[in-house]
């Protein structure tokens, strides 16, 4: 039987990937692994919420039951803060970034983390997979001083690492440090992540498109035209429509099977819905590392210069040839 590495072994065996750090990046990934296990345990109990106590109620230990997204945020923030591995964290759940100062108020740590602790959390109530998305940068301001907004407003192409955890039929941690994409599956019986999906790659072509088509009438004309193309009978078309409404799960499926995910602008959401820093950049980094592509319909996601923490952008991500075709349709209608 083939022996699979554990995530811990993988980190040790691939120290070159973690070259920027004196072990800092390894420790950071290890902390994310730990928080993921804690959150996974809670997400898996979600169906028992009526039995164990609802959000807002007090459970038997006298602790307040929290909504899962708030819970996940607390776990990731605390795990990263307590270990003093990073100098700052920005979370989709928080208005502003958090500065982490060490015991003596000086923090020599190099990295900042941006995180969406529980993306797609509206799916929890109906037992559909949700995910955590994270993005890691080196700070740009002087080490040892409090982090600044500019440490977080970096272009996606400056990411040092990014990844997601999908709490699905099995729980997986998928990440890149810029040396390809590797996926690790949690064995819940012993709480260990094993390398189950080495060198994940987007097929160049795919036959799945993922978009909330209910918003069709509100979409830009380029997207409408592309959707008509997807549905046309020709060659390998019509494509299959698959939309979970949980970015991590839709991305994960498309990376394995080949497909395109689109969350465009619309008259209802003129800037799109997804957040550049917490959702699009990390997914774009993973996509490119897996041989796929990510754009806003016109330009590379990772080249967008962020201007605010919670900035939204339209998002086209997936198999390279599919993104190329979608971009050709978009070009017929220049961005306004």
What own/partner pairs with CB < 8 Å and gap ≥ 24 does 329-335 have?
329/222, 329/223, 329/225, 329/226, 329/229, 330/220, 330/222, 330/223, 330/226, 330/297, 330/298, 331/222, 331/298, 332/221, 332/222, 332/225, 333/220, 333/221, 333/222, 335/297, 335/298
DSSP string covering 225-293, please? HHHHHHHS-BTTBSPEE---S-HHHHHHHHHHH-EEEEE---SSSTT-SSBIIIIIHHHHHHHHHTT-E
Q: How far apart are CB 304 and ligand AHM at their closest, in Å? A: 18
Sign of the Cα pseudo-torsion (86, 68, 249, 220, in order): negative
Whether residue 120 is annotated as binding a ligand: the answer is yes
Question: Using CB under 5 A, which of the segments 78-86, 119-127, 265-273, 281-289 binds Mg ion?
Answer: 119-127
CA distance 47 to 44: 7
Contact pattern for ligand AHM over residues 200 through 229, marking x by CB under 6 A: ------------x-----------------
Q: Segment 87-116, which members bind ligand AHM (CB under 6 A)?
A: 116
Contact partner, 246, from Mg ion, ligand AHM, none, Cβ < 5-8 Å per class: ligand AHM
Identify what 182 binds: Mg ion, ligand AHM, none; CB under 5 to 8 Å per kind.
none
Q: Which of 5, 129, 246, 289 binds ligand AHM (CB under 6 A)?
A: 246
When the beta carbons of 223 and 247 are compared against ligand AHM, the nearer one is 247
Would you count residue 69 as binding Mg ion (CB under 5 A)?
Answer: no
Site track 283-312 with Mg ion (rule: CB under 5 A), x = hit: ------------------------------
Q: Residue 120, interface with ligand AHM (CB under 6 A)?
A: yes
Contact residues: ligand AHM, CB under 6 A: 116, 119-121, 212, 245-247, 273
Q: Which residues are annotated as a binding site?
A: 92, 116, 118-122, 212, 243, 273, 279
């Amino acid at each position: 039987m083939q022996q699979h590495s554990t995530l811990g072994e993988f980190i040790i065996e691939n120290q070159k990937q973690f070259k920027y750090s004196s072990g800092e990046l390894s420790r950071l990934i290890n902390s994310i692994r730990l928080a993921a296990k804690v959150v996974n345990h809670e997400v898996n109990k979600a169906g028992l919420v009526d039995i164990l106590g609802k959000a807002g109620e007090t459970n038997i230990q006298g602790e307040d039951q929290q909504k899962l997204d708030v819970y996940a945020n607390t776990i990731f923030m605390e795990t990263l803060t307590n270990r003093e591995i990073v100098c700052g964290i920005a979370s989709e759940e928080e208005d502003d970034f958090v500065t982490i100062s060490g015991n003596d108020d000086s923090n020599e740590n190099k990295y900042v983390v941006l995180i969406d602790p529980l993306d797609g959390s509206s799916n929890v109530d109906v037992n559909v997979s949700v995910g955590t998305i994270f993005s890691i940068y080196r700070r740009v301001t002087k080490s040892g001083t409090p982090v600044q907004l500019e440490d977080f407003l970096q272009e996606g192409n400056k990411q040092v690492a990014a990844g997601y955890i999908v709490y699905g039929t099995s729980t997986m941690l998928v990440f890149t440090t810029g040396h390809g994409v590797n996926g690790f599956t949690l064995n819940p019986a012993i709480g260990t992540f094993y390398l189950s999906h080495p060198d994940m790659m987007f097929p160049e072509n795919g036959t799945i498109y993922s978009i909330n088509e209910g918003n069709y009438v509100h979409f830009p004309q380029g997207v409408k035209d592309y959707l008509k193309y997807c549905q046309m009978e020709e060659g390998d078309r019509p494509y299959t429509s698959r939309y979970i409404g949980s970015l991590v799960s839709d991305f994960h499926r498309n990376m394995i099977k080949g497909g395109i995910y689109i969350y465009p602008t619309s008259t209802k959401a003129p800037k799109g819905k997804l957040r550049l820093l917490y959702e699009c950049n990390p997914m774009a980094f993973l996509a490119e590392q897996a041989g796929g592509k990510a754009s806003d319909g016109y330009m590379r996601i990772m080249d967008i210069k962020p201007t605010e923490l919670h900035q939204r952008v339209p998002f086209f991500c997936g198999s390279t040839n599919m993104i190329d075709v979608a971009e050709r349709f978009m070009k017929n209608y220049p961005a306004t």
